[in-house]
Amino acid sequence: MTLSLTSVIKKILLLFLLFLGLYFAKDFLIPLCIGGILATLFLPFCHWMESKKVPKGIAVFACLLAFLLLLFILISLLGYKVMELISDIATLKQKAIETGTQIQKYVFNHLNISISEQFKILKNEQPSYSNMLQMMVGSVTNFLSSFILLLVYFAFLLYYRSHIKDFLVQLTAKSQQTEMQQILKKVTAVSQQYLLGLFKMIFLLWIMYGVGFSVLGVENAIFFAILCGLLEIVPFIGNITGTTLTVLVAAIHGSNLGLLGGIVLVYGIVQLIQGWILEPLILGPQVKINSLFTIIALVLGELLWGIPGIILAIPLTAMFKIVCDHIESLKPFGFLIGEIESSKKEVGFIAKLKKI
């Protein structure tokens, strides 16, 4: 009993030290993880170019350029729609002032706090302009340095992929080297499947939100459709945030309750289609982890690494599950994280769509 208790304490301490290390090493690990996951997406393209006798260095550089081009197109598309929204900024500003005035009157009438006292409270709560500027400059600098590191990791992980793979295989015993190769292959595949599925999901969400918001007559419908789709990279929180922003801007524009309710209804319908049709078809069983551990992974990701942790939580947990499924002592953890095997068979159009 004493040995068993000591073993449990050691495992808990090891887990605590692991999470402590992940937290303090986040500035190093976040760009490395994002760069590595993105690199797996471009592996097929890199392999294809190398099969055409293109030198490895040039193939990797072409992948880097392709990634930057896709990023530029995405930013340009979003930026174009932002400019359309900014052209309407005067109206939004006026509506925001009117809404603020109404809130001030409500607070005065119901809480008996004068407008001058409200201004004093707001002034005390707001940070100084110098502090805001300092925080902004620090955030931009940190983002740029992390982005440059991400690109460096992306390129060199692609270039040295065989070398790293051989190193990991050599670390294992000869009797387990074949198993290690299978683990590395499946981890790479699950990363590719998640990213490709995510991009397909975002594209389909653009279409569904775009059609829904346009039919309702939402102003700048395409911009908000793109925004809601892009925020899909942040599971659960992203779509809710995008829809909330859409509702708030529509309310500032003076939209009636029917239109606001319609936006929420579109969100509900899209989420229903996404959860019951698109995710089973696009993501597949390898990426799926059960809902409980999805929430746990997202919460831990946010606590350890903030927003990047939320974005990375699902693919990293899916990779961890692959590793657990191939190591005998960790198989119970893979079982715990994975989806529950349902005895009922898939029925209806979902099963038929999978056969297409």
Please report the DSSP string for 263-288 in residue order.
HHHHHHHHHHHIIIIIHHHHT-TTT-
Question: Residue 279: CB partners within 8 Å, gap ≥ 6?
Answer: 201, 288
Most confident option among 55-59, 169-173, 192-196, 312-316: 55-59
Residue 234: strand, helix, or coil? coil
pLDDT tens, residue by residue, 330-343: 888 888 888 776 54
Question: Residue ranges of the domains in the chain?
Answer: 24-87+126-156, 174-356
pLDDT tens, residue by residue, 81-125: 666 666 556 666 666 666 666 676 666 666 666 666 655 655 555
The yes-or-no verdict on residue 214 having pLDDT over 50 is yes
pLDDT band at 255 (very low <50, low <70, confident <90, very high): confident
User: Which tokens is 11 given?
Assistant: 């495992």
- Residue the block writes with tokens 């449990």: 8
- Residue 88 DSSP label: T
What is the CA 46 to chain-centroid distance, rounded? 24
